[in-house]
Structure 1
Amino acid sequence: MNTPSSASAASLPPLVVSDRLAKKALRHFKERFIEMLLFGAASVSVLTTVGIIWVLVSESYHFFETVPLWSFLTDTMWTPLFADPHYGILPLLAGTLTTSLVALIVAIPLGTTIAIYLSEFARPAVREIVKPFLELLGGIPTIVYGYFALTVVIPMLQLLIPGLSGFNMLGAGIVMGIAIIPYVSSLAEDAMRAVPMNMREGSYAMGGTKLQTALRVVMPAALSGILSAYILGISRAVGETMIVAVAAGMQPNFTLNPLESAQTISAYIVQVALGDLPHGSIGYQSIFAAGLSLMLMTLSLNLVGHVLRRRYREAY
């Protein structure tokens, strides 16, 4: 027995989908093609990273077949091109860490101060002038910074420190810190400006000054972004090549004294890559072992930064 509702449903005309909304094979193919194209573009960075890691690991494996890993990590001499070769990474590691530390001592306080000023104190007209100059400072080739350190900064330091060598890690580190100030200040300022305005207004309502609000409210709220700026600056300093190659000297000395000359990992890679070493030789393979060490340092810094960002993002 048919109910009235079933009879009325049977009498309704069939549902018709317009041609514009109907599924067409051509449209489906276009969507799939675009999706594959975007996936391929996103995979470029992943495949490039995998390729770089594969080259470093494979070439370093042949290097460590000849040079013991323990000797590579503990030997205090790095003379792979001498008649009596030594392959201790410690001198290059000491030069890299010392120049990076000097650069961070310069870049982090100045970059943070600039970020606080641009975010909390500068008028819009001033910010529109200062921000492009910072970006321009970040676009100067590093080789120019290197010769600036060699011809301007180091002679000035020699006036203050008699007997200072013409190539030293102090001058290279100072100029390297100036070079990475735009990275630190720009990212930190963006993180501070992303803090909601009602947090600032709440601080002002409680009687806080602009400086107190910036230091006690805005900076803690933007701490994850500020830490990201610091980690980027550290990674940039560790991987810097031309400034230290020109101004710090090319002698792999095992020292932490910034007044002496030294060689960094990246500067050694440049030195050997420009030479005439035969492919597959132990000297040629040493640049891949040094590059692998540099990559592991940068990866460790990025992992530490990721952990800190997650921790402080959850806290605030």
Structure 2
Amino acid sequence: MGSLRVIERLGRRLGSDRRSLRQAVLSVAALLTLAAGAPAALAETAIERAARTGELALGVPGTAAPYFKEGANGQLQGYAIDVAGLIAAEVSDYLGRPVKVVSETTEGPEALFRQVHNGEVDLMCGAQFTWEREMFVDFSIPFALSGIRLLTQGGTLDGTPDSLRGKRIGVVKGSLGEATVKALQPAARLVAVPTLAAGLKALGQGQVDAVGGDSVLLATAAQAARLREPTLVPTVALNRYAVGCAMPENNSTLRNLVNLAIAKMLQGYVNGDAASRQLVNRWLGPDSELGLPEAMISLYFQSVLLNYEQIALPPQP
């Protein structure tokens, strides 16, 4: 119907000039023919590419334990790496051929999101869900829960807005931590740091009063940092969100297989499956650097539904 209206408008504008009208109609028809043929020329889907190459491209935004870290042998390991391995196994079963994960290191989370959006990378696991990001990539069901908190030392801050007024808060530029702290207390003095690790170093040297960022990443990094009485504040995260895998949009088969792989892991953990418990506990459980109780992990896995992130609303009177 849209193309007919275009032709009618052209006809009214061109009046009785039949030759011009005929040329306009032919031009529109040629454009419609090209548009109709465009879908056939689109790039292959992630699953089609995996079937052809036997590979799934996993984007890695640098070291971010417990999701990504360098092992003793120099190889990349972590919770996200193990989850990606489960996804590759699910894709292999679906395609009937071996599919492996190939890691591709990028400059950081925001650059990686652009690559996922453009279809240059198939998976970004350990990704923080936000409604803004959902507009550009697809997300899986979550396999972790996190939020924005502040890491301080010596109990100097309690995480309330008043406690942040005039304080030096280290934040990674463009991160959720920066946006959350800025919205919570505009009078805080934000200090840009290239990474959370650099922020913790600045905290230890007294260059900042606290570091704002992902609570899971901060808690894990604090174990290796030399800090005086490291404390995460406030008790309840300033902003909570789910953590899962991001994928290029409109790759429904890949998304279904990713969700199936994660759901099997969550259900296995809840059911007491030894392999699932070992995989998750290695990175999140009682004996990990994070040290979460199994009961807490099971409770969250059972409650995984559709609530990926809290939406900030004005406070009620």
**Normalising by structure 2, what TM-score?**
0.26
Higher helix share: 1
Structure with bigger RCO (C-alpha 8 Å, 6+ apart): 1
**Normalising by structure 1, what TM-score?**
0.26
Higher strand share: 2
Between Structure 1 and Structure 2, whose CA radius of gyration is higher?
A: 1
